[in-house]
Structure 1
Amino acid sequence: MIWLRYAYVALALFLTTVILSPLQIIALWRGWKLARRMPRYWHMVACFVLGIRIHVHGAIETRRPLMLSANHTSWLDIIVLGRVADVAFIAKSEVRSWPIFGLFARLQNSVFIERTDKRGTGRQVNSIAERMAAGEIIILFPEGTTSDGNRLLPLKYSLFGAASSAVPYSPDGTVHVQPVAVAYTGIQGMPMGRFMRPVVAWPGDVAMLPSLAGVIRARALDVDICFGESVTFEEGTKRKEAAAEVESRMRTLLAERLSGR
């Protein structure tokens, strides 16, 4: 029966991709705002066929420009976050060449950054800032890698440079960075403890296909997405202090949700 489920998921996602990709390519080419919304439909289907139930706590900040700062456990984070909002992701440049997911990342108009390109850092940051100022919601995974889902790794404060750089582009001189916690809390209707979280966690030494197969076998996953109170970046804001406040709020949100509070 598991092979039938593999086939069902693969067929559903393949057909959805075939239908939506041409529309998204045209929307990106023409610069239509539809390009921001289209990926969400794909994520809706993906969550449905994978059996992912999302529970949202709090709400997305309504003020703009806006950056969401989220913890990173798995490739699954992109699907669940893409399901709840029209967003674009900041990704490392290597993702562009990944099979399947590289294509999806390009179709979602992700921002690819080359971490080793020190000379191009300013250009990359300004590109992110311009897109935020244009109204796009940008998601940052400031841990810089994936965790085991049971904790928040130390954040790389330098990655918040895009928020600081977007301040001059903002009409009111402020940029809002909202902490977000993505917590995997249930599997097949039962609470997911720390020993079951490897089912969804995607550490660097695990290949993509085995990780995807594990999620498909799980059949039903519960994910809590918690939106916290935003931290405001403005002229004169000390980036490290503001980033430390974002980190503190993310850590609190994740700990509370994983403990069931």
Structure 2
Amino acid sequence: MIAKLRAGLALALLLILTVPLAGLQALAICARWPLAHRLPRLWHRLACRVIGLRVIRKGAPAAGRPLLLVSNHQSWADIVALGSAAELCFIAKSDVRDWPLFGLLARLQRTIFVEREARGKTGRQASEIAARLAAGDAMVLFAEGTTSDGNGVLPFRTALFGAAQGALRDSGAAEVLVQPVSVAFTRAHGMPLGRFGRPLAAWPGEVKLVPHLLTFVKEGAVDVELRFGEPVSFTATGDRKALARGCERQVRRMLAASLSGVADEAVLRPAADGSI
């Protein structure tokens, strides 16, 4: 009963905070104010406090631009955690655009929506992402293309890594920074979640969104660890498939380190030969 009451109060408070910020963000986007880049991070930081999500950060987003961050993906909570860490924009599947409330929030975040299964549109979609990268937006690509159970990393899809090549063309830059990121949900109320407890935060398969959201908020105290790996310099002669494989390997290492409690920062660095 107490957990349900807490969840109800948390969601009510989040709604109260969201309404005025959403209106201001819509105005900022229309007027092209710099505030449109900063407000989403403020909202995510407030949301983390309200729902009891404690973000532990190891490393930081690269300062250079263009910047493409490549992350594993477990649930809507990944976006709240990452969004609280920096001024970021996200790449999401196209049907998110039409979700009640969440679709509106995604649009206000200045999300790019893509049809991952529409192979004929991959080039156009990569070009749209490239244009945003060239304009200075740090974009987050959930490279698995779907959500996992949080215990491992699914194979990375390579198609949208082509956006890095497009950003070179559009920006005139000599290189694009591609930075691997891992998101790991580690504890609830200070106790390790473990393999079987991680579905509290993970949202794989056909799990319904609203029940999952309510279960998460009722918990009220979840730790998530973000690890930002060493940025990789991608140039015009780079191989996007090799880039995707390298990023996948590093995200796997970082996720495993977070889930096992490893504190060694060596997992954040590329190998001595420059590979990742």
Q: Tell me whether the two structures share a fold, i.e. TM-score over 0.5.
A: yes
Deviations 1:179-235 (A, max 9, x none): 000011111011221111011110121101110111112110011000001122111
Structure 1 letter corresponding to 2:54: R
How do 1:119-198 and structure 2 match up within 5 A?
119-198=120-199
What residue in structure 2 maps to residue 84 of structure 1? 85
CA contact (8 A) 1:231 1:245 kept: no
CA contact (8 A) 2:183 2:225 kept: yes
Could you tell me how far apart the structure 1 residues matched to 2:64 and 2:115 are? 29
What residue in structure 2 maps to residue 70 of structure 1? 71
Could you tell me how far apart the structure 2 residues matched to 1:76 and 1:235 are? 34
Deviations 1:53-109 (A, max 9, x none): 111001211111001101001110000000111111001110000111111101101
Deviation at 1:12, TM superposition (A): 0.9
Structure 2 letter corresponding to 1:101: F
Structure 2 letter corresponding to 1:206: V
Closer, same or farther: CA 203–256 of 1 in aligned 2, 3 Å: same
CA RMSD of aligned residues (A): 1.2
How do 1:1-261 and structure 2 match up within 5 A?
1-261=2-262
Structure 1 letter corresponding to 2:255: L
Q: TM-score, normalised by structure 2?
A: 0.91
Could you tell me how far apart the structure 2 residues matched to 1:121 and 1:154 are? 18
Structure 1 letter corresponding to 2:72: N
SS in 2 for 1:112: strand
Closer, same or farther: CA 157–117 of 1 in aligned 2, 3 Å: closer
Could you tell me how far apart the structure 2 residues matched to 1:241 and 1:10 are? 43
Deviation at 1:121, TM superposition (A): 2.8
Could you tell me how far apart the structure 2 residues matched to 1:115 and 1:179 are? 20
What residue in structure 1 maps to residue 270 of structure 2? none
Structure 2 letter corresponding to 1:155: F
Structure 2 letter corresponding to 1:150: N
CA contact (8 A) 1:92 1:113 kept: yes
Q: TM-score, normalised by structure 1?
A: 0.96
Could you tell me how far apart the structure 2 residues matched to 1:126 and 1:260 are? 39
CA contact (8 A) 2:122 2:159 kept: no
In structure 1, runs of 5+ residues without a counterpart are: none
SS in 2 for 1:41: helix
Could you tell me how far apart the structure 2 residues matched to 1:255 and 1:192 are? 14
Structure 2 letter corresponding to 1:24: Q
Could you tell me how far apart the structure 2 residues matched to 1:34 and 1:26 are? 10
CA contact (8 A) 1:70 1:179 kept: yes
Deviation at 1:20, TM superposition (A): 0.3
Closer, same or farther: CA 157–118 of 1 in aligned 2, 3 Å: closer
Could you tell me how far apart the structure 1 residues matched to 2:164 and 2:224 are? 27
Report runs of 4+ in structure 1 exceeding 6 Å deviation. none
Structure 1 letter corresponding to 2:142: F
Deviation at 1:5, TM superposition (A): 1.0
Could you tell me how far apart the structure 2 residues matched to 1:172 and 1:210 are? 45
CA contact (8 A) 1:13 1:46 kept: yes
Could you tell me how far apart the structure 2 residues matched to 1:10 and 1:52 are? 13
Deviation at 1:255, TM superposition (A): 0.9
Taking every aligned residue pair, what percent have the same amino acid on both sides? 48
